[in-house]
């Protein structure tokens, strides 16, 4: 069994580490707030005082944090960064949702240490992590993926190799932007239908059976109808992903007007105090805007 290090024990990282412990791996863990590792320690995880320490005996290192800034601190801090603890041949896996530009920079820095790098964000949130049903979008060398595949499989239903380092981040941002646009559109449509006197509960049930409604959007519609906004994918993270996607798009030739408009809707929701609600909670902001009009 390989030795694994999991860096970042938030909603997703803690579940990844727990699944790996259940699969029988030796797991070292690090989190900036140490108390978040206590439940995993009770299952056998070995706590580390720094990312660097957590990596020293690891064959596979997995990072799962919120954004570029947190990832930069985690991996490249001058004293405690994980990069300084990597052994030659270790596979470093960054599973956070990050900007492609930072991912490519990190890949180069890790390669200079003689380690291998995989850009491996996931599709899915807490329920999928708990059910070992995440989908990995992996950028990097095929040989590194072959080395890490068994470990990634402990948390996933599918693993897709989508290109070189940065490709995983690019596709993940695209997927989240597509979903975020759909959710904002759904919130607007339900607000319009409610204003037109339609029975929203019945409407949501019918929409869920239409070919145009994906299973994920059907679930969001149900959450909007019941006003259930406990976060799985909180709005403040949706906004961050749109920010990275729009910045990436602005460097190319594509028209990102629709993505930028959706981004503005999520920014407004945060300004109105909904940032910690689930993505379905965007309906609150949309309804508020509709009523003010």
Residues 266, 277: Cα–Cα separation, whole Å: 11
User: What is the architecture of the domain spanning 3-163?
Assistant: 3-Layer(aba) Sandwich (3.40)
Asked if pLDDT for residue 35 goes beyond 80, the answer is yes
Asked if pLDDT for residue 293 goes beyond 60, the answer is no
According to DSSP, the residues that pair with 4 across neighbouring strands are 27, 60
* Mean pLDDT score, 283-292: 79
Average predicted confidence (pLDDT) for the chain:
96
Q: What pLDDT is attached to residue 255?
A: 81
Q: What pLDDT is attached to residue 290?
A: 58
Asked if pLDDT for residue 26 goes beyond 70, the answer is yes
Residues 11, 31: Cα–Cα separation, whole Å: 12
pLDDT digits (tens, 9 = 90+) for 239-273: 999 999 999 998 877 788 999 999 999 999 999 99
The phi and psi torsions of 158 (rounded to 5 degrees) equal: -155, 150
* CATH class in words for 170-292: mainly alpha
Q: What pLDDT is attached to residue 262?
A: 97
Confidence of residue 100 (pLDDT cuts 50, 70, 90): very high
Rounded percentage of the chain residues whose pLDDT exceeds 70 = 98
pTM more than 0.75: yes
- CA-nearest of 24, 146, 48, 44 to 93 is 146
Asked if pLDDT for residue 204 goes beyond 70, the answer is yes
Confidence of residue 292 (pLDDT cuts 50, 70, 90): low
Each domain of the chain, given as residue ranges in start order, spans 3-163, 170-292
The phi and psi torsions of 16 (rounded to 5 degrees) equal: -60, -45
Q: What pLDDT is attached to residue 181?
A: 98
Q: What pLDDT is attached to residue 291?
A: 58
User: Pairing relation of β-strands 122-123 and 60-63?
Assistant: unpaired
DSSP letter for each residue of 72-131: HHHHH-TTT-GGGGPPTT-EEEE-S---HHHHHHHHHHHHHTT-EEEE--EE--HHHHHT
pLDDT digits (tens, 9 = 90+) for 63-95: 999 999 999 999 999 999 999 999 999 999 999
pLDDT digits (tens, 9 = 90+) for 128-138: 999 999 999 99
Residues 275, 252: Cα–Cα separation, whole Å: 29
Asked if pLDDT for residue 185 goes beyond 80, the answer is yes
Q: What pLDDT is attached to residue 69?
A: 98
Residues 258, 246: Cα–Cα separation, whole Å: 10
């Amino acid at each position: 069994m390989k030795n694994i290090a999991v860096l970042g024990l938030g909603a997703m990282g803690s579940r990844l580490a727990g699944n790996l412990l259940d699969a029988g791996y030796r797991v070292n863990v690090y989190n900036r707030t140490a108390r978040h590792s206590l439940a995993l320690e009770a299952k056998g995880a070995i706590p580390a005082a720094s990312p660097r320490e957590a990596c020293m005996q690891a064959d596979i290192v997995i990072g799962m944090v919120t954004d570029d800034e947190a990832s930069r601190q985690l991996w490249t801090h001058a004293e405690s960064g994980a990069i300084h603890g990597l052994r030659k041949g270790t596979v470093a896996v960054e599973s956070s949702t990050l900007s492609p530009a930072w991912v490519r920079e990190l890949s180069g820095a890790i390669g200079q240490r003689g380690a291998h790098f995989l850009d491996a964000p996931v599709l899915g949130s807490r329920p999928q992590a708990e059910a070992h049903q995440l989908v990995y979008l992996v950028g990097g060398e095929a040989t590194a993926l072959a080395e890490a595949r068994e470990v990634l499989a402990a948390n996933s239903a599918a693993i897709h190799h989508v290109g070189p380092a940065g490709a995983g981040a690019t596709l993940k941002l695209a997927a989240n932007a597509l979903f975020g646009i759909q959710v904002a559109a759904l919130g607007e449509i339900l607000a319009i239908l409610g204003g037109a006197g339609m029975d929203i509960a019945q409407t949501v049930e019918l929409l869920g059976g239409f070919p145009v409604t994906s299973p994920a959007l059907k679930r969001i519609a149900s959450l909007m109808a019941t006003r259930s906004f406990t976060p799985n994918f909180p709005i403040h993270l949706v906004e961050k992903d749109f920010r990275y996607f729009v910045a990436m798009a602005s460097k190319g030739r594509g028209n990102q007007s629709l993505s930028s408009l959706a981004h503005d809707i999520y920014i407004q929701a945060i300004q109105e105090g909904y940032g910690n609600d689930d993505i379905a909670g965007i309906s609150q902001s949309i309804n508020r805007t509709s009523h003010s009009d």
